[in-house]
């Protein structure tokens, strides 16, 4: 009898992330890393539920202790996102009692519906939403049965959701200052930055280079040529540079529509063929981190971003950070004080900063040496613990 009691006592809580699209690229992003680190810190049995597609059919059943559960989405042909996610609603209805913690990304109508049904079926369950954005959907609306029903469901959701975390101070403050149907969610709201995958770095046995070991290299990482990444700003700035012994590497897949812009860039700047290089997509983390590790400067020219994971990677590998003013940049430059924020589309400012760095007029090494990098931790584990998520008492991590 005592043996049974011990087994019951040791049974792990189950955390299920229900996510509407899961691909290999998500393994290095918050979609995978938040539930993974929650599982590590709190001792949860972690599962990710997602629709099976042609592009993710090769996924294993388990990665780093996280179980992957693909669903055949019989609603994939339906026109709206809400209807497509009915497969998740039915999954939650079927398994609600065995889900101790249900996690969702984004405060969408789908999250509100699925979360509300989950709490109806399992009132003792814990509902967590990583929810930057989505406030507008929860704001009051008036007139007609549709709006009355929406208000009823949203109010029920806000009363019953256990935790909402945001990625930036700006979004955190906006949540606090938004009228969410007259309901105060401040006690349920946490600020949790996007972090770096420190466990994987240990697994790869990566040794961070000192500044003296780094190359005269400037990098950017992302889906190059897409509208939001504004890659043309970087190329336009590079057009007027005297590169000397520096090189710029643009790392990531290139949007096919951007190839003409690249061709024109090289036609006008043949002398930069070996100085401004496109590497193509780099999906292997060890290979990607090797680029960060040997570079001195990281650039982001995006028009808009969520809290970009590349910021935490750049800071972790001690890159000087130059970025347009997008979500997360103030937090990451604030962590190290090692970088500069520039206005959107200010190509002249970017060119000036880069030329100063290339010329040695910006003494990166002196700035670097003034920072105690040993005290800078941008890992997920740290940020989750600082957010005090309250799902359980964090277990002591084994040394």
Q: What is the CATH number of the domain that holds 349?
A: 3.40.50.2000
Is the pLDDT at 385 greater than 50, yes or no?
yes
So what's the pLDDT on residue 84?
80
Q: Give the pLDDT confidence of 302-350 residue by residue, as tens digits.
A: 998 878 889 999 999 999 999 999 888 888 988 889 999 999 999 999 9
User: Which pLDDT band, with edges at 50, 70 and 90, does 107 fall under?
Assistant: confident
Q: How far is CA 322 from the centre of its chain?
A: 19
So what's the pLDDT on residue 353?
97
CB neighbourhood size of 178 (10 A): 12
Is the pLDDT at 5 greater than 60, yes or no?
no
d(CA 151, CA 98): 29
Residue 396 lies in a domain: no
Residue 397 lies in a domain: no
230, 222 in Cβ contact below 8 A?
no
- Do 313 and 344 fall into the same domain? yes
- Do 354 and 313 fall into the same domain? yes
Give the residue numbers spanning the domain of 46. Answer: 2-195+380-387
Q: Give the pLDDT confidence of 179-196 residue by residue, as tens digits.
A: 787 888 899 999 999 999
110, 18 in Cβ contact below 8 A?
no
- Do 32 and 157 fall into the same domain? yes
So what's the pLDDT on residue 263?
97
- Of 388, 353, 19, 39, the closest CA to residue 191 belongs to 388
User: Which pLDDT band, with edges at 50, 70 and 90, does 141 fall under?
Assistant: low
Residue 312 lies in a domain: yes
* Side-chain half-sphere CA neighbours of 26 within 13 A: 19
- Do 231 and 92 fall into the same domain? no
Q: Give the pLDDT confidence of 355-365 residue by residue, as tens digits.
A: 999 999 999 99
So what's the pLDDT on residue 397?
47
Domain count of the chain?
2
Q: Which residue has the higher pLDDT, 333 or 238?
A: 238
- Residue recorded with tokens 């946490």: 190
Candidate from 52-56, 65-69, 271-275, 358-362 with smallest mean pLDDT: 52-56
Paired sense of beta strands 276-280 and 247-251, if any? parallel
Q: Please provide the average confidence, as pLDDT, over all residues in the chain.
A: 90
Is the pLDDT at 393 greater than 70, yes or no?
no
- Do 251 and 168 fall into the same domain? no
Residue 394 lies in a domain: no
- Do 95 and 225 fall into the same domain? no
Is the pLDDT at 379 greater than 90, yes or no?
yes
- Do 180 and 250 fall into the same domain? no
Residue 124 lies in a domain: yes
Residue 19 lies in a domain: yes
3-state helix, strand, coil in the chain (%, to 5): 45, 15, 35
Rounded average pLDDT over 208-234: 96
So what's the pLDDT on residue 119?
97
- Do 179 and 230 fall into the same domain? no
- Do 168 and 26 fall into the same domain? yes
Is the pLDDT at 398 greater than 50, yes or no?
no
Percent of the chain with pLDDT over 70: 92
- Do 275 and 339 fall into the same domain? yes
Residue 360 lies in a domain: yes
Rounded average pLDDT over 20-31: 89
- Do 113 and 173 fall into the same domain? yes
pTM score of the predicted model: 0.89
Q: Give the pLDDT confidence of 28-50 residue by residue, as tens digits.
A: 999 999 999 999 999 999 999 99
Rounded average pLDDT over 83-88: 86
Candidate from 23-32, 119-128, 293-302, 346-355 with smallest mean pLDDT: 23-32
- Do 10 and 151 fall into the same domain? yes
User: Which pLDDT band, with edges at 50, 70 and 90, does 384 fall under?
Assistant: very high
So what's the pLDDT on residue 268?
96
So what's the pLDDT on residue 181?
78
Is the pLDDT at 175 greater than 70, yes or no?
yes
Rounded average pLDDT over 200-228: 96
Q: How far is CA 241 from the centre of its chain?
A: 32
Is the pLDDT at 57 greater than 90, yes or no?
no
Q: What are phi and psi of 280, to 5 degrees?
A: 85, 180
So what's the pLDDT on residue 394?
62
Residue 298 lies in a domain: yes
């Amino acid at each position: 009898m005592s043996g049974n009691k011990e087994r019951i006592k040791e049974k792990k809580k189950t955390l299920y992330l229900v996510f509407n699209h899961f691909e290999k690229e998500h393994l290095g992003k918050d979609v995978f890393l938040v539930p993974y680190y929650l599982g590590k810190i709190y001792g949860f049995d972690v599962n990710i539920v997602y629709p099976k597609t042609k592009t993710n059919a090769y996924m294993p059943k388990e990665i780093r202790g996280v179980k992957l559960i693909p669903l055949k989405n019989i609603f994939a042909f339906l026109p709206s996102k809400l209807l497509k996610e009915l497969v998740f609603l039915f999954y939650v209805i079927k398994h609600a009692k065995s889900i101790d913690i249900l996690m969702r990304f984004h405060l969408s109508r789908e999250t509100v519906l699925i979360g509300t049904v989950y709490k109806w079926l399992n009132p003792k369950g814990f509902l967590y939403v990583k929810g930057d954005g989505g406030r507008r959907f929860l704001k009051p609306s008036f007139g007609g049965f549709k709006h009355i029903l929406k208000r009823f469901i949203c109010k029920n959701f806000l009363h019953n959701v256990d935790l909402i975390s945001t990625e930036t101070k700006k979004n955190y403050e906006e949540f606090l200052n938004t009228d969410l149907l007259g309901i105060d969610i401040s006690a349920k709201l946490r600020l949790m930055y996007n972090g770096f995958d420190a466990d994987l770095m240990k697994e790869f046995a990566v040794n961070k280079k000192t500044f003296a070991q780094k190359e005269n290299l400037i990098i950017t990482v992302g889906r190059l040529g897409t509208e939001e990444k504004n890659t043309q700003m970087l190329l336009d700035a590079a057009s007027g540079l005297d590169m000397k012994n520096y090189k710029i590497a643009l790392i990531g897949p290139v949007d096919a529509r951007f190839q003409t812009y690249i061709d024109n860039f090289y036609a006008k700047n043949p002398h930069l063929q070996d100085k401004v290089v496109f590497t193509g997509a780099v999906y292997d983390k060890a290979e990607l981190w090797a680029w960060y590790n040997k570079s001195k400067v990281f650039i982001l020219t995006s028009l808009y971003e969520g809290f970009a994971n590349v910021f935490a990677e750049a800071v972790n590998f001690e890159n000087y950070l130059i970025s347009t003013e997008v979500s997360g940049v103030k937090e990451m430059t604030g962590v190290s004080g090692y970088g500069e924020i520039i206005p959107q589309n200010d190509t002249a400012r970017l060119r000036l900063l880069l030329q100063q760095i290339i010329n040695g007029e910006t003494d990166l090494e002196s700035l670097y040496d003034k920072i105690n990098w040993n005290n800078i931790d941008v890992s997920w584990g740290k940020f989750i613990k600082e957010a005090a998520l309250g799902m359980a008492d964090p277990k002591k991590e084994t040394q």
